[in-house]
Amino acid sequence: MNTAVKTLKRGDDDLIIDNVPYRSRLLVGTGKYRSFEETQRAIEASGAEIVTLAVRRSNIGQNKNEPNLLDYISPEKYTILPNTAGCYDAESAVRTCRLARELLDNHTLVKLEVLGDQKTLFPDIPATLAAAEILIKEGFRVMVYTNDDPIMAKRFEQMGCVAVMPLAAPIGSGLGIRNPYNIRTIVENAGVPILVDAGVGTASDAAIAMELGCDGVLMNTAIAEAKNPILMASAMKKGIEAGREAYLAGRMPRRAYASASSPIDGTFFS
Amino acid sequence: MLVIINGIETTVADTATIANLIKQLELTGRIAVELNKQIVPRSEFESRLIKDGDVIEIVHAIGGGQSTYNW
């Protein structure tokens, strides 16, 4: 009996971003946790190898000996992905990336987001395009947050972004994938990794993103705001892996009616 | 002389360099500095002089995923 089942081993199915292979397809943020210890433990449990963080003004004259996030999330252990969260115009996003590059010793991989308004946190696409153009010219490797718009996703790819990250739902909303058809179209058209960035609420949302063929998922709030963030981080890891394997396995077709699993022939009743 | 550091008017010595300023503010750990919207590489902290009216930003890494968070 041949029961050889093809299982995915390390290196078999890496996520490649900017020519660097990663085993984990889950990327995580570091905001909203109760402490740096909790952040560290959740990231450990998630198995993530790419960790995003923000850049902010240092406190002048207060909390001088504040612990530093980078003491907990080591750039030697993780690929640090500085983000431009909180930027509402192209100039601040570009300045943030330049500061991050200096902060992280010439590190060029960045997550670009330029937001349109505080209520929806939807991206400002013209401003994002303008910032991406400058950053790419300056040698940054840009992973870009955008709408679930297939035309824009292609545009960002063509201008040289190393990954395109459409939202599934508004940032921090936890609403799951609101437009799976658009995400699927973006994935089908893509020549660079497509990662769902924002909107995932629980492990099944992450699995759905992966089943649609996304290359990865970036999330923060879904883990940080869970009642038990460490357990949710572990759940997300499994959701991502299950979704990926289901995508690679190729799901059965959907049918409108039943289809019996047992043969009809040879029944002893009639 | 007066300079603006992270949005706050601050008095510093007339011949201060970026390195002097970091020491005066007792900043430790990994930081990055912008002087009048231009990055000052760490290698230039010792040599770069500050002028009256300069606008300086000093930043570090914090937790964040997507967007602005109210802490």
Q: Hey, what are A183's tokens? A: 């995400």
Mean predicted confidence (pLDDT) in A181-197? 97
- The whole-angstrom separation of Cα A1 and Cα A155 is 51
Number of H helices, E strands in chain A: 9, 10
pLDDT confidence bin for B66, thresholds 50/70/90: low
pLDDT confidence bin for A1, thresholds 50/70/90: very low
Mean predicted confidence (pLDDT) in A75-97? 95
CB atoms within 10 A of CB A266: 6
CA-CA-CA-CA torsion for A56, A57, A60, A64, nearest 10 degrees? 30
Q: A65-69, A196-200, B32-36: lowest mean pLDDT where?
A: A65-69
- Of B26, B59, B63, which is closest to A39 when you measure between CB atoms? B63
Which active-site residues of A does the annotation give?
A: 111
Q: A55-69, A119-133, A167-181, B11-25: lowest mean pLDDT where?
A: A55-69
- Of B25, B26, B31, which is closest to A103 when you measure between CB atoms? B31
Mean predicted confidence (pLDDT) in A219-236? 95
Q: How far apart are the first and last CA of chain B?
A: 34
Q: Is the pLDDT of residue A152 over 90?
A: yes
Distances (CA, A) of A13 to A7, A37, A51, A216, B58: 10, 31, 20, 12, 41
Mean predicted confidence (pLDDT) in A64-79? 86
- Please report the pLDDT score of residue B14 as a whole number: 87
Residues from chain A that touch B57, judged by Cβ atoms under 8 A, are 57, 99
Highest average pLDDT, of A10-14, A187-191, B58-62, B66-70, comes from A187-191
Complex-level ipTM: 0.86
- Please report the pLDDT score of residue A64 as a whole number: 61
Q: A43-52, A62-71, A251-260, B47-56: lowest mean pLDDT where?
A: A62-71
Contact A148, A179 (CB under 8 A): yes
Grouping H, G, I as helix, E, B as strand and the rest as coil, residue A130 is helix
> Which H or E run contains A17?
strand A15-17
B5 touches chain A (CB under 8 A): yes
Q: To which residue do tokens 């939202």 refer?
A: A167
- Please report the pLDDT score of residue A114 as a whole number: 97
pLDDT confidence bin for A62, thresholds 50/70/90: low
- Please report the pLDDT score of residue A269 as a whole number: 84
Q: Hey, what are B63's tokens? A: 């937790």
Q: Hey, what are A46's tokens? A: 């998630």
Nearest CA in chain A to B29: A68
Distances (CA, A) of A18 to A43, A45, A108, A126: 22, 25, 11, 24
Instruction: Write the Ramachandran bin of A172: left for phi over 0, alpha for psi from -120 to 50, otherwise beta.
Output: left
Q: Is the pLDDT of residue A4 over 80?
A: no
List the one residue out of A126, A200, A108, A214 whose CA is nearest residue A162: A108
- The whole-angstrom separation of Cα A18 and Cα A69 is 25
pLDDT confidence bin for A198, thresholds 50/70/90: confident
Per-residue model confidence as pLDDT tens digits over B19-41: 999 998 888 888 999 999 999 99
Q: Hey, what are A265's tokens? A: 């022939």
pTM: 0.90
Nearest CA in chain B to A100: B32
Which residue stretches of A114-228 are H helix? 125-137, 150-159, 180-189, 203-211, 221-224
- Of A83, A102, A113, which is closest to B32 when you measure between CB atoms? A102
Mean residue pLDDT of chain A comes to 92
Which residue stretches of chain B are H helix? 18-24
